[in-house]
A and B are shown apart, each in its own frame.
Chain A
């Protein structure tokens, strides 16, 4: 039999340390739903989602029972809608978003991603139509999320798309003024966008994927935090080096990833679809004990944003990846540590007391697994400045050959230092100040494309 202490260690991760399967995401290709007639396409989309995802919630519940593991969210990621709906205009895109919203509600999933476009080298007319539809589409639906690829190491940064999205994000915030611009929390702008990411809001079913796949997102910042805490308490900080902390994170990541792989295979088998990937991303929630900020504090960064914060995030992110890679051959998605300010109460607190600034946050994103995630900025930030913030983040991804992303929320009517709250998993934080806003307007207005870096020439 498995050792008793090992059994209880596993149980402790779920009972006391907030480990859960954060999301089971069904990736679904919708290319065969294309049609020149909008009504025909809408019906095909809804039917296909029903057919593949109709049993997903029930099957997840059975697996939750069998293994005694909470599966918190069930979600769907579809093919980029700009391709599926090519040939249709902006109004049609809005109607598609509404039908996707309905289809997601019908099968009992809380979010549906993929209302997006791949524009890292150039924009098609349908991609333009989709981006133009975002203010209406995302402010008038509850479940639909969008991921837009605007940059890649092979293509460079499409600055026309970045500038267009800068203005679009402002328009989205205004369209959803009643909810403090919450619609913007459902749009992720990517460099090197993964095609199998299960986490929202950026989950999209890539073109190279199978008809339908199950991708799993496991989280567990609380488990890592407690593991490090126990190690330090038991050994004493003077006996430990950073390599010991990295090793502990790696072991913990291994265990957590294994949980994801197990559940993914079981669910894929139950639904008769392929198992795709498991993505161990330390994805915080506003709950105490479920925070990346708390891990950094245990690692000795008492003021998050202080010098050393970037190195600590780098070590954490890398150790998580290494543990995951050893645990499963199907690791994918983002796999690392997220630092979404609003969703992490400790990071939000650091932003409130001024130790975490937008500039330092940007530096930390160069070594985390995503980017400037859930960052509230002043409502009067111009489209050009939003584009410039995005351009910086995309450049980090392109040059470092990694995924980076932004989820920026210009909160209408609010200034830096004021609080904004979206409630629930989306959390709250103060609005971060953007210093010297407007100082890069001419740069982004040049438009065109920042060419791909030298190391893209690998063939």
Chain B
């Protein structure tokens, strides 16, 4: 059985050995790790793990054991896994990029424009360093979206605060960066 049962998230100041400590407890409790994504954002270790916990497990005890391995100031949560309905008519990804002067509120302005047109962020990273903002996001857009209108809206929203915002099909970036780029995209396995 590889059906997820829970989502475990941990945010904690980064140090060596966090994954080793967490997985040691998961193994001891016969928890299966199905998928995870981990990164370090500005010195903070963050991880999201999709897991399957045996039905007979005591969830509170598991949470307590995991928390005990973490330093002060950490945050840990264990949520019940609830699959969300997949968005229909996704067109495959566009890359949204923004770079320029750091500004507050721009993330909201951009994401609100994308949400309003039915788009969905599937990957996002943004960083402000030395007053310069760099944002890269992967976005699914509905097939019938008026791309030119959305691009113009994004460009205007960005230029109002000194940012260059672009929305371009991601195949451009695959073509220029991946050796194995092929003219026809690979078929999704069904």
- Give residues in A with beta carbon < 8 Å to B: 1-4, 6-11, 13, 15, 65-69, 255, 258-259, 261-262, 265
Asked if B166 contacts A10 (CB within 8 A), the reply is: no
Q: What 0/1 pattern do residues 44 to 55 of B give for CB contact below 8 A with A?
A: 000000000000
Asked if A7 contacts B173 (CB within 8 A), the reply is: yes
Which residues of chain A have C-beta atoms less than 8 A from B151's C-beta? Answer: 65, 68
Asked if A259 contacts B175 (CB within 8 A), the reply is: yes
Asked if B183 contacts A261 (CB within 8 A), the reply is: yes
The CA-CA distance from A8 to B134 in the complex, in Å, is 9
Asked if A2 contacts B174 (CB within 8 A), the reply is: yes
For the complex, is B103 an interface residue (Cβ under 8 Å from A)? no
Which residues of chain B have C-beta atoms less than 8 A from A261's C-beta? Answer: 175, 183
Asked if B95 contacts A258 (CB within 8 A), the reply is: no
Q: A4-B136, A7-B95 are in contact. Are A265 and B183 (CB under 8 A)?
A: yes
Point out the residue from A1, A3, A4, A262 that lies within 8 Å of B175, measured CB to CB. Answer: A262
For the complex, is B172 an interface residue (Cβ under 8 Å from A)? yes
Best-buried of A15, A65, A255 by chain B (most CB within 10 Å): A65
7 tightest A-B contacts by CB? A68-B168, A258-B175, A1-B123, A255-B176, A6-B177, A262-B175, A10-B176
With A8-B99, A65-B147, A261-B183 given, name 15 new contacts (CB 8 A): A1-B123, A4-B125, A4-B136, A6-B176, A6-B177, A8-B97, A8-B136, A10-B176, A65-B148, A65-B151, A68-B167, A68-B172, A69-B168, A255-B176, A258-B175
Chain B, interface residues (CB within 8 Å), range: 20 to 34
Best-buried of B167, B171, B176, B177 by chain A (most CB within 10 Å): B176
Which residues of chain B have C-beta atoms less than 8 A from A67's C-beta? Answer: 168-169, 171-172
Which residues of chain A have C-beta atoms less than 8 A from B164's C-beta? Answer: 15
The CA-CA distance from A268 to B31 in the complex, in Å, is 52
The CA-CA distance from A103 to B44 in the complex, in Å, is 63
Best-buried of B147, B164, B169 by chain A (most CB within 10 Å): B169
Asked if A11 contacts B97 (CB within 8 A), the reply is: yes
The CA-CA distance from A13 to B176 in the complex, in Å, is 10
Best-buried of A1, A4, A9 by chain B (most CB within 10 Å): A1
The CA-CA distance from A9 to B171 in the complex, in Å, is 15
Asked if B134 contacts A259 (CB within 8 A), the reply is: no
Asked if A258 contacts B97 (CB within 8 A), the reply is: no
Which residues of chain B have C-beta atoms less than 8 A from A255's C-beta? Answer: 176-177
The CA-CA distance from A405 to B105 in the complex, in Å, is 57
For the complex, is B170 an interface residue (Cβ under 8 Å from A)? yes
For the complex, is B81 an interface residue (Cβ under 8 Å from A)? no
Asked if B173 contacts A10 (CB within 8 A), the reply is: yes
For the complex, is B138 an interface residue (Cβ under 8 Å from A)? yes
Q: What 0/1 pattern do residues 116 to 140 of B give for CB contact below 8 A with A?
A: 0000000101000000001010100
Closest to B99 in A: A8
Number of residue pairs A-B, CB distance < 8 angstroms: 68
* Min C-beta distance of B150 to chain A, whole Å: 10
29 A-B contacts (beta carbon < 8 Å): A1-B123, A2-B95, A2-B177, A4-B125, A4-B136, A6-B173, A6-B176, A7-B97, A7-B173, A7-B177, A8-B97, A8-B99, A8-B134, A9-B177, A10-B177, A13-B176, A65-B148, A66-B168, A67-B172, A68-B168, A69-B172, A255-B176, A258-B175, A258-B176, A258-B181, A259-B172, A261-B175, A261-B183, A262-B172
Point out the residue from B99, B138, B181 that lies within 8 Å of A1, measured CB to CB. Answer: B138
Closest to A65 in B: B148
Asked if A66 contacts B169 (CB within 8 A), the reply is: yes
Asked if A68 contacts B123 (CB within 8 A), the reply is: no
Residues 68-105 (chain B) with a chain A CB within 8 angstroms: 95, 97, 99
Which residues of chain B have C-beta atoms less than 8 A from A258's C-beta? Answer: 175-176, 181
Which residues of chain A have C-beta atoms less than 8 A from B123's C-beta? Answer: 1
Asked if A7 contacts B136 (CB within 8 A), the reply is: yes
Asked if B97 contacts A262 (CB within 8 A), the reply is: no
Asked if B169 contacts A2 (CB within 8 A), the reply is: no
The CA-CA distance from A255 to B136 in the complex, in Å, is 20
Point out the residue from A2, A3, A8, A15 that lies within 8 Å of B170, measured CB to CB. Answer: A2
Which residues of chain A have C-beta atoms less than 8 A from B136's C-beta? Answer: 1, 4, 7-8
The CA-CA distance from A65 to B125 in the complex, in Å, is 24
The CA-CA distance from A2 to B123 in the complex, in Å, is 10
Which residues of chain A have C-beta atoms less than 8 A from B172's C-beta? Answer: 10, 67-69, 259, 262
Closest to B151 in A: A65
* Min C-beta distance of B90 to chain A, whole Å: 16
* Min C-beta distance of A320 to chain B, whole Å: 16
Asked if A11 contacts B166 (CB within 8 A), the reply is: yes
Which residues of chain A have C-beta atoms less than 8 A from B174's C-beta? Answer: 2
Which residues of chain B have C-beta atoms less than 8 A from A4's C-beta? Answer: 125, 134, 136
Closest to B181 in A: A258
Which residues of chain B have C-beta atoms less than 8 A from A262's C-beta? Answer: 171-172, 175
The CA-CA distance from A451 to B95 in the complex, in Å, is 57
The CA-CA distance from A414 to B176 in the complex, in Å, is 46
Which residues of chain A have C-beta atoms less than 8 A from B125's C-beta? Answer: 1, 4
* Min C-beta distance of B8 to chain A, whole Å: 22
Closest to B122 in A: A1
Which residues of chain A have C-beta atoms less than 8 A from B147's C-beta? Answer: 65-66
The CA-CA distance from A65 to B172 in the complex, in Å, is 12
* Min C-beta distance of B67 to chain A, whole Å: 31
Q: What 0/1 pattern do residues 141 to 172 of B give for CB contact below 8 A with A?
A: 00000011001000000000000101111111
Q: What 0/1 pattern do residues 31 to 73 of B give for CB contact below 8 A with A?
A: 0000000000000000000000000000000000000000000
Which residues of chain A have C-beta atoms less than 8 A from B97's C-beta? Answer: 7-8, 11
The CA-CA distance from A67 to B123 in the complex, in Å, is 19
Point out the residue from A13, A68, A259 that lies within 8 Å of B166, measured CB to CB. Answer: A68
* Min C-beta distance of B9 to chain A, whole Å: 20
The CA-CA distance from A11 to B170 in the complex, in Å, is 12
The CA-CA distance from A259 to B174 in the complex, in Å, is 10
* Min C-beta distance of B92 to chain A, whole Å: 12
The CA-CA distance from A65 to B168 in the complex, in Å, is 8
